[in-house]
Structure 1
Amino acid sequence: MEIFPCTLVYVDADAGRSPNAASKDPLSYVDQAVGLNRSLLRAGMPRLNIITNTPDQIDKRLATFAQEAHPRVHQLVMTIDLPKATPFYAAHFKLDLMDQLAHALPDDTLMLLLDADMVAIRPLNDDLITRCADAGIGVFDISDQVFSAYGSASVINDLEIVANRRLRNPRWYGGEFMLATPLTLSRLVSLAREYYARYLLESGRLLHHGDETFISAALNTLADEGQGMVEVGAYQAIGRHWSGNCYRNLAWFRSCSFVHLPASKAFLERQSHQATFVPVRFWRSVLIAHWLWRGRLAIKRLRDSLRASTQKKPLAPTPRSAR
């Protein structure tokens, strides 16, 4: 099986930025995609494909990089319409991207959907690719992180509102990685479009917004209906790392094929302007950023503790009559 690495770069200066994005430059994701492409090529994987609503703007930005670093650029066929103030606005168009590729990719090719704020460390395991092809889809289960952060009851409630049914084993899937055959992708898109419509209608009741909500609901329903899925995180195909977070030891991420750094977009943009992707340099920067954030967190906790102790009311003096 061949793989088709791709990422969505949706550009709209009038839309709200991702909550994890600090840059005001709507084309900053192009820089991140260049860095991802450099790392893909170094790891021996195919060139990245950018699917975008503004190919001319993307090409103009890519012209500032060396030709060999350029991803391929494709026009996105858009059907989605939603308020531009919606959180994670751009990510919703992944549904259009998946629909487009479900009809465009050859049967012997797996879509490898990636977020731009990632790096490739090593090739995907051939056995994992075969297993995903046999099952039809490989997905990244991040329920352990999302359930603990927001409470399993609230997350499951959102999934079941969007699915309009009780789910047998509700799971939450990260939107930064998916490996799927065109056939299974077509099944997923068909159901996800139905759930997307309900997601819009019920958005006022939902705690979570973004593509992960309705895509996860659709994946759960497919699983309940017997669709096989490979959980790629267990194979260390992908790891999601937040600087300063000790959810996993950094050594674990070094063994992953891909590392997602959703809170380190500015760092990845700077990395993209290096002539080559150098893993040793990358890991050194990740390690420094990680311990800087750990230090800031420790200082914040100490400051909060001291502030709380100084704000405690002093004990009232004992009245003379009680002495």
Structure 2
Amino acid sequence: MVLETGILAKFIKLVIYIIEHFYRIISILTVFVNKALLSSNTINLDAPLFITWCQCIISLIMCVILSNLSKWFPKYIKFPCGNPYTKETLRKVLPLSLLFTGTIATNNLCLKYVDVAFYYIGRSLTTVFNVIFTYLMLGQKTSIDCIACCAFIVTGFWLGVDQEHIAGSLSILGTIFGVLGSLTLSLYSIHMKQVLPKLNQDIWLLSYCNNAYSVIIFLPLMLANGEYITVYNYDKIGSSYFWFAMIIGGICGFAIGFATALQIKVTSPLTHNISGTAKACAQTVLATYWFNEKKSYLWWISNFVVLGASAMYARLRQLDLSREYKEEKQQSQV
């Protein structure tokens, strides 16, 4: 019996290990593929919203396929069925989908204008905005230690921006989109906690709806950005290579959502955050090597400050939540 328990524990650890590395590989691959789509000379299409829109369409198609497969093979495939365009679902999810659209649009716009190595720093203020909006919108206070971590994150961010400026590689527009991406992602995360209970905590149904609505929301945004004319005049629109790259990008976008949900399900949000920090470190090192970029000593310090402070914040939040849970349990027993 003890031997069987030991084997089971090792098997579970192996599964978690595989899932964590699957998430990291898919996440890094998605960033590099998107960077190639958004700003490489090979693709050379100045229509970032159109590219993001196509990725949403591919994700939506995959959601529809999985939804139908779950009807045909309910014992083997579990995926939300139904119509995301019903009035009731639309009322519940549309405001969140607007934030989702803003998040993926600003993230891709940030990636278009900044180097992959700087991408994590450019979007590193999500934790800081989380603390601010959690207090302003929900009235929840954060411990002094966590606030100190946020101060270090801001310091690392500004140091990274400063070093990019000194090196002459700073994109102000890309940095602005990075900050906006952090802001919208923070609002999305907070609002998602309020919407998920209305969907029976079904993350996949939420993803299904988000992609379905984003496909429509992006249409006026592309019109305002003048991308219809750009795409119409694009000389590679019929190229099989272009559409192959677009499909790969869409599949990666869908896969990162699957990997994230799977990792959180089998571990915890904290483990996912720590894994994301490790992924960001590997992504930064790989990007500097891949693109043959030489960075200053202070530039690397800025990255380690942000990574370390983010990991410490996640750990402190775990301790705070554990303490609050124990206090609530003790009060309920009195």
**Under a length normalisation based on structure 1, what TM-score does the superposition of the two structures give?**
0.29
Larger relative strand fraction: 1
Q: Which of the two has higher C-alpha Rg?
A: 1
**Under a length normalisation based on structure 2, what TM-score does the superposition of the two structures give?**
0.28
Larger relative helix fraction: 2
Q: Which one scores higher on RCO, CA 8 angstroms, separation ≥ 6?
A: 2
